[in-house]
Each structure stands twice: as C-alpha cells, then as structure tokens.
C-alpha cells in the first residue's frame, strides 16, 4: 500500500515561491511580450520594404496591403488568446486558491518581485497586473495596518522617535540587511528610535512615489501609538530621491508630519542622475538612428519610468510631465533646494583609493558619481547646499556596500546622535 503524497506541506513550500495568481500575471506579460515581438518584426519588415523602394505603410514602422493585414490578424489572435486566458483564470483562480492561506513569501520571491517592479513596475500597475507592488510601511518584515488600534498592537514598544528607511531601485525593505548588518536596527538601538521600512514599486515615477509617501506618513503620524516628536528618514540610492520628493509635497501641502522631520540622510543618492541611465538613453538614440535597428529601440524603451527618472534625478512632476521620456536626453528639471528646517546629510562612496582623486571622480561607487551623490552641480541653482560637515565620502566602497559599511554606520550614529 503506497503512502499518500504529502501534498499539504509540499504545496505550502511551493506557495512560498510561486502563487496561483502568478499564472494570470505571467499570461498577461506574455501577451504584452508577444505584441512587442510582432511590432519589432513588422518594423524590420517595413525598413526592408523602404530600403528596396517598395510602397510604404501607414506609418514608419507599419506595413500596408496584404502584409499589414496579416500582421493585424496575428495581433488579433494574440489579443483574443490573452483575453480568453485572462477570463478563464479570473474565474478559476478564486475557486482554487485562497490568499488568506498563503504562507509567508520566500526571500527569493520577494527579491525577484522587487527587481521586476523596478524594471516594469509602471507597466504592471497600468495593466492591473497582480505582481505590481503597493506602497506599504513595514516593521520586522510585516506590513503595518496604520489604524490606531492595530498599530498599538503591532508596535507595542513604539517610542516618540520614528526612523524610516527607504530602499532603492529594484530592491525591497528586507535588503537593508546586508552581510549581517542593518542600518535600521543599528540606529534604532543607538538612538532609541522605532525603525520602520518602506516598500514601494520603484518602477513608478519618483514623484508619484514621493506623493504617495507624503500621504502615507500623514496617516502614520495620526495613528502613532504615542505622541511623535521626531522623524528621521534614511534613503539609499533612489530612496533618497523619493524622500526628497515626499518632503517637498508634504511641505507644500502643509502636512503635519513635516513639522516633525528633523533629519534627512542620503546614502549614494543620485541627486543629479546616474551615468548608466544616460548610457541607456544613448543606446536608444543609436538604435533609432538606423532604420534597420530602429524597431529594436523598443526593447530599451521597456524600462520603467522610475529608471528613466534616474537619468538626471527627477523628483518633481514638472521634471517629466508633458515630455516623452525617451525623446530627449536634456536635463529639464526644476530646481528643488533641500528642505528648510531639516538637517540634511549625504554619504558618497567611491571604488577608488583615498589618494586617487582622478579615479574617484571617474568611477564613483560604480553607479553614482561623487558629485551626484554630494549634490554638486555646475549650475548654482541646481546645487544642494550640504554643509561640509554634513558630507562624508567612503573609499573602496561600492554602491550596495554602503548598506553594510561599518564606517557609514559609525558616521550615521555620529550625525544623528548629535542635536540637529
């Protein structure tokens, strides 16, 4: 007599990595990918037609006549298949799956979702894809409800000092722990603060996330179990830009939490952009310059609004609204100084040795140059007025190593332990 298969434990183990709703999400992405491939194929086809002097299509990348009708038919089949699959899964999944029974997601799943949202997060949200991450405040890896009664139970040891940590692009709140160190836990113990971690869809525009964070912090302060007296925000990479955006929105709207904000700390934040995204825009331009490779420029343009915001460090709606984010590489930002009444600090890293001045300028931390991380700019209106004693450069340190550097931890403690 054979033993019954332990489907329960196996299913729970599998659900830590893959959820039934992932089928619906994957099917939706597959349909979008199919349409993308069709568009690229038709674009190349049209480029060949033009090169041979044949009749053109309705647009620069669409064929005409029988060829165009065939491409339209293929798109129609793909669209119908997508609708049918989505409808079928929409009916079946609620019958086969109960989200309330899902175990805690594995770190591997959380890491993959964070990366996917960073690259395609704006598209996921626009499509209503189940993989799109919502913004939430978390403590101990668990989302907070932000209702007064529940928050008191979730944070029984909450004190008057709120320490908020905001992660960077393609990351999540769990990734503040690196090489056994977590700046949040370290500073909480050193300062007697209550650490909270933000999780957000880093593929959205930075100003969109900034506005959402500003409103979320207003909810948090209203529900805090004790009377809050001090808020400190530490942002890594893109997280620093999201924090700057949130403060600007909050101060403009007169939100109460901004009156409690005492310190704003930036770790490797690309205040004036990152060369890697500017290189990506250059690649788009090169592909588009040749009629045969122009259709493949679509691949580069799949990257999210959050990524393209890092070209120059967009933090306000006015920096990007009304413009094609792939059309121009010019810097259209509106100046945004550091917030008044808030002590602002910046840590920059460089892979170079301390005495290699030229190398440290060229390499930065591998992703963010020193000048960008320290707010320096040729245009005086764009410079961030960081006091010399509020700046720190760590050497032989990479972008992610800022999260585990003992030197960075000691500097943060020194800054934040002193009166603002």
Q: What percent of the chain has pLDDT over 70?
A: 67
How far apart are alpha carbons 312 and 273 in whole angstroms?
4
Instruction: Summarize pLDDT for 146-193 with one digit per residue, the tens.
Output: 987 889 899 998 999 999 999 999 999 999 999 999 999 999 999 999
Q: What percent of the chain has pLDDT over 90?
A: 54
Average pLDDT of the chain, as a whole number: 81
- Assess contact for 321 and 334: CB atoms under 8 A: no
Query: Angle CA(171)–CA(175)–CA(181) in degrees, nearest 5?
Result: 150
Residue 38 has pLDDT above 80, yes or no: no
pLDDT at 77: 57
pLDDT band at residue 415 using 50, 70 and 90 as cut-offs:
very high
How far apart are alpha carbons 188 and 400 in whole angstroms?
21
Residue 252 has pLDDT above 80, yes or no: yes
pLDDT at 75: 56
How far apart are alpha carbons 67 and 72 in whole angstroms?
9
In terms of Cα–Cα distance, which of 336, 339, 352 is closest to 398?
Answer: 352
- Assess contact for 161 and 232: CB atoms under 8 A: yes
Phi-psi region of 293 (alpha: psi -120 to 50; beta: other; left: phi over 0): alpha
Domain boundary assignment for the chain: 13-101, 136-273+333-417
pLDDT at 379: 93
H-helix or E-strand spanning residue 189: helix 183-191
The second-level CATH assignment, the architecture, of 136-273+333-417 is 3-Layer(aba) Sandwich (3.40)
pLDDT at 364: 84
Ranking 8-17, 285-294, 318-327, 346-355 by mean pLDDT, the lowest is: 285-294
Instruction: Summarize pLDDT for 103-152 with one digit per residue, the tens.
Output: 577 888 899 889 989 988 999 999 888 889 999 999 999 999 998 788 98
How far apart are alpha carbons 262 and 325 in whole angstroms?
34
């Amino acid at each position: 007599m054979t033993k019954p298969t332990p489907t329960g434990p196996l299913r729970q183990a599998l659900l830590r990595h893959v959820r039934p709703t992932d089928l619906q999400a994957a099917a939706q992405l597959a349909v979008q990918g199919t349409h993308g491939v069709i568009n690229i194929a038709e674009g190349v086809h049209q480029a060949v037609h033009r090169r041979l002097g044949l009749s053109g299509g309705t647009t620069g990348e669409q064929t005409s006549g029988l060829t165009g009708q065939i491409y339209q038919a293929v798109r129609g089949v793909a669209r119908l298949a997508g609708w049918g699959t989505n409808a079928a899964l929409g009916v079946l999944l609620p019958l086969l799956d109960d989200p309330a029974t899902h175990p805690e997601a594995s770190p591997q799943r959380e890491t993959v979702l964070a990366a996917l949202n960073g690259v395609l997060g704006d598209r996921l949200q626009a499509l209503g894809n189940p993989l799109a991450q919502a913004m939430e405040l978390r403590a101990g890896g668990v989302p907070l409800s932000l209702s007064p009664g529940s928050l008191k139970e979730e944070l029984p040891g909450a004190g008057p000092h709120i320490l908020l940590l905001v992660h960077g692009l393609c990351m999540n709140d769990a990734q503040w722990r690196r090489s056994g160190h977590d700046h949040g836990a370290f500073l909480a113990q050193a300062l007697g603060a209550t650490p909270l971690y933000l999780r957000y869809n880093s593929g959205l525009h930075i100003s969109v996330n900034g506005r959402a964070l500003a409103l979320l912090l207003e909810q948090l302060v209203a529900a805090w179990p004790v009377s809050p007296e001090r808020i400190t925000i530490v942002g890594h990479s893109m997280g620093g830009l999201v924090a700057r955006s949130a403060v600007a929105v909050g101060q403009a709207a007169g939100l109460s939490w901004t009156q409690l904000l005492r310190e704003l700390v930036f770790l490797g934040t690309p205040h004036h952009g990152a060369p890697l995204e500017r290189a990506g825009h250059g690649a788009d331009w090169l592909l588009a310059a040749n009629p045969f490779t122009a259709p493949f420029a679509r691949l580069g343009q799949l990257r999210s609004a959050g990524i393209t915001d890092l070209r120059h460090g967009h933090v306000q709606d006015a920096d990007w609204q009304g413009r094609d984010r792939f059309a121009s590489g010019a810097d259209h930002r509106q100046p945004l100084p550091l917030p008044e009444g808030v002590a602002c600090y910046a840590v920059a890293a460089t892979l170079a040795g301390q005495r290699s001045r030229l190398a440290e300028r060229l390499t930065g931390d591998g992703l963010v140059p020193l000048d960008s991380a320290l707010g320096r700019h040729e245009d005086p209106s764009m410079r961030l007025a960081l006091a010399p004693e509020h700046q720190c450069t760590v050497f032989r340190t990479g972008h992610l190593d800022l999260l585990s550097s003992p030197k960075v931890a000691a500097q943060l403690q020194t800054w934040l332990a002193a009166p603002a």
